[in-house]
Amino acid sequence: MPNHTVADILRGLEAKTFSSEEITQQYLDAIVAHDPRYNSYITVTAAAALEQARAADLARQNGSGGLLCGVPIAHKDIFCTDGVRTSCASKMLNNFIAPYNATIVTKLAQAGTITLGKTNMDEFAMGSSNETSFYGAVRNPWNTDCVPGGSSGGSAAAIAAGLAPAATGTDTGGSIRQPAALCGLTGLKPTYGRVSRYGMIAFASSLDQAGPMAKTAEDNALLLQAMAGFDPLDSTSMQLPVPDFVGGLNKDLKGLKIGVPKEYFSEGLDPAIGAAVEAALDEYRKLGAEIKAISLPHTHLAVPCYYIIAPAEASANLSRFDGVRYGYRCENPKDLDDLYTRTRAEGFGAEVKRRILIGTYALSSGFYDAYYRKAQQIRRLIKQDFNEAFKEVDIIAGPTTPNPAFALGEKVSDPLTMYLEDIYTIAVNLAGLPAISLPVGLTQGKPIGLQLIGRDFDEASLLAAAHQYQQRSDWHRQVAPGSV
């Protein structure tokens, strides 16, 4: 059972090797037995999962099942799930039972997935280590002294530990790709606007995107197929046809031009990661791709730019958590100011408060031009860098992270170092582009991720490139020592 891919499960269900109920029960049992070590789930919805699984088995019998009929998955606890606690890993929403489903939750359910539960994450998706969760840190199944990355650290750890074959994640500055890299998984951040944000609790609205996390590119294609598409409830989702991602996986890579930005190989990069990326690029040469050196000159501005825009948007997005209508409310407020002040002081964790303060400051009268407006200008320059590069190449490749998984507690007290862990992923969100991280090696027993960045709405090329690499390598088949 362990280390099934989604595709494996679909084959097993089709061949009646097992039923959805059986495989779902196996995952639920594994979660009970092993998750105490990883803390990857916040909520497990066992009864509902088994009920869904039985319904899926019936549907499969009747031939009415969808693309993913009977496949158990987990949802990051940032997606609203009707009747189930949706906490965003915050004390603020510890008591919040969502009364509706996020669009992607509905779409995946319509495709036939079973929801095992809600995965742990950094509070309000703010973090790169999954240490800011109100429900405690998540441990990396490759090395339980290390972080799984964040913010979708629970989803990553659950898959790496064999506690879910796939999961949803969200990526505002690297929150799918970085934990995928640190846990030896494949994770895709789709183009901004490809997947609906409705029902996904907002961190930074102009950067947030939902995407799949799984072991293989093929599984990512299967999940994205179900998740993608225009949503009339999200004004920023794009009215574009959804390509056949699964059907496009074997599209020939001959003549594919891959650009390698020199800025991604500068100071701060672990040499072992550099070497693994070089080795992966060699495989791409063998697949017929052409590797070209390119430059993204504004790369060094991405992190500072991001840490203005994301907190600014977050400062407004998180204003609704005021103790008035739902969520945490402080005890015995003596007046309105006291209600606001104590509710928010007691309900939010330190990192969330830090970002709200940064964002509030950046938007303040007298500082707006120096910070927010300037950051928007830099954002356009970063996008321009990519536009220029994509005139020369089809895909941009580099490391996903500068370092492999770091030790729990190592960077908690040093936010700047922590923020630099996202140095290669952040620019992609600022530019709204799609990018995938896939495992291409191990160093000291810890996984290494390769990041491929594509043109707007060209997830298909990324999935094809990742899939065909995975046909020639077995890094994605490596099993974490702590896996079930």
Partner 1 sequence: MEWEVVIGLEVHVQLNTKTKIFSGSSTTFGAAPNTQASAVDLALPGTLPVLNEQALKKAILFGLAIDADICMASVFDRKNYFYPDLPKGYQTTQMDFPIVGPGIVTISLSDGSSRDIRVHHAHLEEDAGKSLHEDYHGMTGIDLNRAGTPLIEIVSEPDLRSAEEAVAYLRKIHSIVTYLDISDGDLSQGSLRCDANVSVRPKGQAEYGTRAEIKNINSFRFVERAIKVEVQRQIELIEDGGKVKQETRLYDSDKNETRAMRSKEEANDYRYFPCPDLLPVVIEQSLVDQLKTTMPELPDAKRQRFEQAYGLSSYDAALLTTERAIANYFEAAADAAGDAKLAANWVNGELSAALNRDNLGIANSPVSASQLGGLIQRIVDNSISGKIAKQVFEALWNGEGDSADAIIDSKGLKQVSDTGALGAMVDEVLAANPDQVEQFRGADEGKRKKMLGFFVGQIMKASKGQANPGVINKILNEKLGG
Of 46, 363, 412, 479, the residue at the interface with partner 1 (CB under 8 A) is: 363
Kindly identify the residues of this chain, within the stretch 178-217, that bind partner 1 according to CB under 8 A.
197-202, 204-206
* Catalytic-role residue among 20, 87, 128, 151: 151
Closer to partner 1 by CB, 154 or 165: give it: 154
Pattern of binders to partner 1 over 396-425, x per CB under 8 A?
------------------------------
The active-site residue out of 20, 76, 128, 189 is 76
Phi, psi of 102 (to 5 degrees): -60, 150
Q: For the chain, what is the total number of helices (H) and then of strands (E)?
A: 15, 11
How many residues bind partner 1 (CB under 8 A)? The answer is 44
Q: Is 3 one of the binding residues for partner 1 (CB under 8 A)? A: no
Is 151 designated active site? yes
- Reference 451, options 191, 264, 249; nearest CA is 264
- Residue the block writes with tokens 């791709």: 289
Beta pairing class for 114-119 and 41-44: antiparallel
76 labelled catalytic: yes
Ranges of beta strands (E only) in 423-482 are 435-443, 446-454
Query: Is 469 a residue that touches partner 1 (CB under 8 A)?
Result: no
Choices 268-276, 283-291, 364-372, 440-448; region in contact with partner 1 by CB under 8 A = 364-372
Cite the DSSP H helix spans in 290-401: 302-317, 336-347, 350-363, 374-392
- Residue 222 CB, shortest distance to partner 1, in Å, is 24
Q: On the CB side of 313, how many CA atoms lie within 13 Å of its CA?
A: 19
| Cis peptide preceding 365, ω within 30 of 0 | no
CA atoms of 325 and 322, how far apart (whole Å): 8
Q: Does 239 bind partner 1 (CB under 8 A)?
A: no
Paired strand residues for 115: 73
Of the residues 19, 133, 155, 175, which is catalytic? Answer: 175
Q: What is the C-alpha separation between 432 and 457, in angstroms, rounded?
A: 9
Residue 175 known to be catalytic:
yes
* Three-class secondary structure of residue 473 per DSSP: coil
Contacts (CB under 8 A) with partner 1, residues 57-116: 79-80, 86, 88, 93, 96, 98-100, 102
> Which among 135, 123, 132, 36 is positioned nearest to 78, based on CA atoms?
123
Q: Which residue has the tokens 């969502």?
A: 98
The residue from 22, 234, 290, 346 that contacts partner 1 (CB under 8 A) is 234
Q: Which residue of 239, 332, 365, 413 would you call a contact of partner 1, by CB under 8 A?
A: 365
Residues that bind partner 1 (CB under 8 A): 79-80, 86, 88, 93, 96, 98-100, 102, 197-202, 204-206, 232-236, 312-313, 315-316, 318-322, 324-326, 336, 340, 360, 363-365, 368, 372
Annotated catalytic residues are 76, 151, 175
